[in-house]
Amino acid sequence: MGTNITFNTDIAFCSACGALLPNLPERGNTIICRACQYAAPVDTFLGKETKYTVFFNKRETTKKKKETEEDEGPTIDRKCPKCGYGKMSYAALQLRSADEGQTVFFTCLKCKYKESENS
């Protein structure tokens, strides 16, 4: 016999299992969790909104950079295929579905050549 757990969560998440709920349906009066099939009345979500606040850290420079290097995020020792320079900045984003890897974007710090890699 399983244990019943109730989650006190944001309205965007299932109160039965905690999974992210799909968008409100265009028709019907229930929203069904794709993970556990829990059905919640749409009225539960109407008139409610979720507010998020994003805080950004202040940029602090801890060391002087070479003249060719600009502050473009984290850097990696990676050889640029265009000019051969040995340092590139990178940014990783989740562009594909959640069960697939991320996409990493690299930018040469010298010639600004850009390339991407799916990991």
At 44-81, the pLDDT tens digits run 766 666 565 666 666 665 444 444 444 567 888 999 99
- Both structure tokens of 108: 């040469």
Taking the C-alpha atoms of residue 18 and residue 36, their distance in angstroms, rounded to an integer, is 9
Mean pLDDT of all residues in 88-114: 87
Q: Is the pLDDT of residue 94 over 90?
A: no
103-108 and 30-32: which strand pairing?
A: unpaired
**Domains in the chain, ordered, with CATH?**
8-55 (no CATH), 75-118 (2.20.25.10)
**Coil vs helix vs strand at 80:** coil
